[in-house]
Amino acid sequence: MTVSTIDAARERLTLVRDTLDRTALVAGRQPADVTLIAISKTQLADAITPLIAAGQRAFGENRVQEAEGKWPALQEAHPGLSLHMVGQLQSNKAEEAVALFDVLHTVDRPSLVGALAKAMDRSGRRPDCFVQVNIGNEAQKGGCPVTDLPALLAEARAAALPLVGLMCVPPADVEAAPYFALLGKLARDHGLPRLSMGMSQDYETAVMLGATHVRVGTALFGARG
């Protein structure tokens, strides 16, 4: 890790963080109320370490197996990091996910609720959980259909999952604001305080509409080659 790589990481992080903070203030919110998650999927440890050195503390991964291969060593070397699962989670990976991640953003079906509850009971670890909503009703995307959300939340609460909020990925290439606004309404209706929404291209809109967690990859790591 060279000084130039740390400087480049710090420059990208500062730009995103300043934009995020300014947007929160415009929205009448406190910048500290928005968690910036650096999406480090497919990034090697050598690309992640400069961002840690620049001050980033929350990171997101899409796959349990990939995260298992790089994060235990990174967390041992850099205490105080938080790791977020932001990709689709298979029920048969629930035990590994509960052991590794601090926050799970993609709880989306009853079978996963059951698997996570059993894994948490066995391990004693209880990562915060977001329910992912298929906010655009897209067949190719994960997430609970809006119409099924009350029943899934009831199951998750009955299983004593530590529910904290809702998560969504709006349809691509359309205005995200209506989808973010709908997720916010659903969260309020169900008494959930946190909203995981917004990525590199739309995190400012998400913050304006109440996001408490934004998931940013390209703007922090640069475009993929």
Closest to 51 measured CA to CA, from 225, 224, 217: 217
Average pLDDT estimate for 69-82: 96
Predicted local distance difference test score (pLDDT) of residue 223: 74
For the chain, domain boundaries: 3-221
> What is residue 5's predicted lDDT score, i.e. its pLDDT?
84
**Among 3, 17, 10, 4, CA closest to 51:** 10
Task: List the alpha helices (DSSP H) in the chain.
Answer: 3-26, 45-53, 64-77, 94-100, 110-123, 149-158, 177-189, 203-208, 218-221
Q: What is the CA radius of gyration of the chain?
A: 17
When pLDDT is cut at 50, 70 and 90, the band that residue 78 belongs to is very high
Mean pLDDT within 176-194? 98
CA distance 115 to 29: 36
Rounded mean pLDDT, 84-97 = 97
Residue 121 has pLDDT above 90, yes or no: yes
Task: Please state, in angstroms and as integers, the Cα–Cα distance from residue 167 to each residue in 52, 89, 114, 172, following that order.
Answer: 25, 14, 19, 16
pLDDT at 54: 95
Average pLDDT over residues 184-205: 97
Asked whether the predicted pLDDT for residue 197 surpasses 70, the reply is yes
CB atoms within 10 A of CB 54: 19
Q: How far apart are the first and last CA of the chain?
A: 20
Q: Torsion angle, CA of 184/199/142/121, rounded to 10 degrees? A: -80
Pick the CATH number of 3-221 from 3.30.565.10, 3.20.20.10, 1.10.8.640, 3.90.1300.10: 3.20.20.10
Q: In this predicted structure, what is the pLDDT of residue 224? A: 62
Give pLDDT, residue 222. Answer: 82
pLDDT confidence tier of residue 130, bands split at 50, 70 and 90: very high
Q: Which helix (H) or strand (E) holds 88?
A: none
pLDDT tens string 132-178: 999 999 988 999 999 999 999 999 999 999 999 999 999 998 999 99
Structure token pair of residue 172: 């691509």
Tens-digit pLDDT profile for residues 209-225? 999 999 999 999 987 65
Cα–Cα dist 159/121, whole Å? 10
* pLDDT exceeds cutoff 60 at 33: yes
**pLDDT of res. 1:** 61
pLDDT of 49 strictly over 80: yes
Q: Give the type of residue at 36.
A: L
Under the banding of pLDDT at 50, 70 and 90, the label for residue 6 is confident
Three-class DSSP labels, 18-63: HHHHHHHHHCCCCHHHCEEEEECCCCCHHHHHHHHHCCCCEEEECC
